[in-house]
Chains A and B, each alone.
Chain A
Amino acid sequence: MAQLIALFLCRCRPPDVVVFPRCVEEVSALAKVCHKHRLPIIPFGTGTGLEGGVGAMKGGVCFSLRNMEQVLDLHPEDFDVTVEPGVTRKTLNAYLRDTGLWFPIDPGADASLCGMAATSASGTNAVRYGTMRENVINLEVVLADGSVVHTAGKGRRPRKTSAGYNLTNLFVGSEGTLGIITKTTLRLYGIPEAMVSAVCSFPSVQAAVDSTVQTLQAGVPIARIEFLDDVMIDACNRFSSLSYPVTPTLFLEFHGSEQSLEEQVKTAEDITQSNGGSDFQWARDTETRNRLWKARHDAWYAALALRPGCKAYSTDVCVPLSRLPQIIVETKEDLIENRLTGPIAGHVGDGNFHCLMVVDPNDPEEMHRVHLFTERLARRALAMDGTCTGEHGVGLGKRALLCEEMGPVGIQVMQSLKDALDPNNLMNPGKILQREEP
């Protein structure tokens, strides 16, 4: 049937063995053993990926890296730090709090930073701080045969380089199919002096997206622009006992000095009002801002609460900004036509949005409708010069879509790289690339 249904029904694909190496030497030695005996290798950080990345489709050895949990080599003056796979993004930010620095990328889960590198993760403030692709300076990777490579040279951390092939970004997003990431050197940023959050309601999706585009064009270094459609806002209202107007809504956040904030907010407010947006609902101090954002953070649970007993699956397409209104409007029509529950939340500043599909796992007919919907959605995004996955990765379920997205030559290049680095297909087999089984 469908890969999505396979994902739901075969939720747990456990490995045959789990190992807990404590250092890169142990990872390398274990990889050599696996290589010698042709055992599949499944790297495991926090297991919080959303595309089945840690499922051991052919069994094998899971490398749980949680015991490698050191923050190494912090250089506050250079804005960089190196961490091991057991360090999660919240742990790192707690560690850094006295230095005035932070690592801003914040996917929903408290994920392993090396795992985030492996999936090229992104968060709610990518519009200002970028994704993992822009913020990984160096990686230490153990390859399928146990050899250890430093993608930018051992211990090196220049802010920029043009030395040789960009190995670092080859491994970022490789989802464990090319090697096991055992260290990542990350770019840090100064903690913003001040933050202001605001909520603004719009008469239409077009108005909300137009405001987003214009704000970016006006050069406002906005930190977060999150879009919630009317269904999502309604769910949030019910779940968190709020009373936002039930129309397309933007949650905005601005970072900077007190002076620059005033300017940023004024510019943004002028723009939103000229697009028919409501007055800003404001928050300055930490407690009020947290309350404001709680609605957005609880979106997943709010969606689930719409249909108790059901499960949720998040779609993840990304298109150029100018196509966003069209794709959201067409997607909403599709949802209604096919009687599907799919409130929409999105990082609209990146052209990326998620439909939180709430579905009854015991209803195969509904599951099938959801699967077909997600395929149509991905193809709709591809037709608009976009991608089938903005931040969650390809994993198991989007391999066929990746072929459509890249085309045969692109896939062939990817396959050649895979064959060069992992000729025996031991590294997380069955992910990203579909292999013709002999």
Chain B
Amino acid sequence: MSGRVLVGVKRVIDYAVKIRVKPDNTGVVTDGVKHSMNPFCEIAVEEAVKLKEKKLIKEVVAVSCGPQQSQETIRTALAMGADRGIHVDVSGKDYENLGPLQVSKILAALAKQEDAQLILLGKQAIDDDCNQTGQMTAALLDWPQGTFASEVSLEGDKINLVREIDGGLEHIKINTPAVITADLRLNTPRYATLPNIMKAKKKKIVTVKPADLGVDVTSRLEVLKVEEPPQRQAGRV
């Protein structure tokens, strides 16, 4: 087993920002708006780093798909303890249309290239709320998946997982290699401290293009319109 874990980290609009729809209804305003790592991705990174600290895995590789600024998100993962980063460069229209299917193809290709033992992702991104990338990646690789994980423990070449589901908590055991998606209660992510941010600047980030991985990022979806939700009406008692 390579002992290598791939962690996907997505750059999204910061959770504290008030979202505004663009006047032309083609999307939301992103220019000049604060972005940060998707909170569920933070939890995934934390879990990977914890596994490495317990010496259960050997290397944490942070991956992000997007424009140049995605490297900032990878740097945050490096500051939290990831060892190196891979930036898959997708920009312009391709980036606007980038969705779970293309990302999962990219992750599957990288998993093979990097001989990954485990892929850790957030359960969903807070901008699109798709909750699909983990599941699609597992399907493409024909790997088992443990989604909505609130507890993860490695046992030899298997993983014991507790999943948060509607009915309560589900305990499963899956083989490795596997895909795990992190839910809220899996852990409390650490802050990136200044000394670690400084150290992270020396860690390597490699940039690749989807074509280098044999992935076509053409989207099969077209966004027709983006609107605000209807205004809340006053209640009546």
Contact = CB atoms under 8 A, between A and B. Distances in A.
Interface of A: 91, 94-95, 97-102, 190-193, 257, 286-287, 290
Contacts of A287: 188
B233 to A, nearest CB: 22
Contacts of B72: 98
A257 B14 CA distance: 29
Nearest to B76: A98
Nearest to A94: B16
A98 B192 contact: yes
B193 A95 contact: no
Interface string B68-101: 0000100010010000000000000000000000
Given A95-B34, A100-B79, A286 B190 contact: yes
Nearest to A91: B16
Contact of B197 (A95, A100, A192, A257): A100
Contacts of A102: 191
B37 A192 contact: no
9 contacts: A91-B16, A95-B14, A95-B16, A95-B34, A97-B36, A98-B192, A100-B79, A190-B193, A290-B188
A70 to B, nearest CB: 11
Contacts of B2: none
B234 interface: no
Contacts of A98: 36-37, 72, 76, 192
B195 interface: yes
Contact of B191 (A91, A97, A290): A97
B188 A100 contact: no
A192 B193 CA distance: 7
B186 to A, nearest CB: 11
B223 interface: no
Contacts of A286: 188, 190
Nearest to A290: B188
A72 to B, nearest CB: 12
B218 interface: no
Contacts of B188: 286-287, 290
Of A100, A101, A257, A287, the most chain B CB neighbours within 10 A belong to: A100
Contacts of B193: 100, 190-193
B194 interface: yes
A89 to B, nearest CB: 13
A110 to B, nearest CB: 13
B16 to A, nearest CB: 6
B196 interface: yes
Contacts of A257: 195
A66 to B, nearest CB: 13
A191 B16 contact: no
A101 B34 contact: no
Nearest to B42: A97
A316 to B, nearest CB: 31
B34 A191 contact: no
A286 B194 CA distance: 18
A133 B185 CA distance: 38
Interface string B175-203: 00000000000001011111111000000
Contacts of B37: 98
- Give 5 closest A-B pairs by Cβ, nearest first: A100-B194, A190-B194, A100-B197, A286-B188, A191-B191
Contacts of B196: 100, 193
Contacts of B191: 97, 100, 102, 191
Contacts of A191: 191-194
Given A95-B16, A286-B188, A287-B188, A101 B36 contact: no
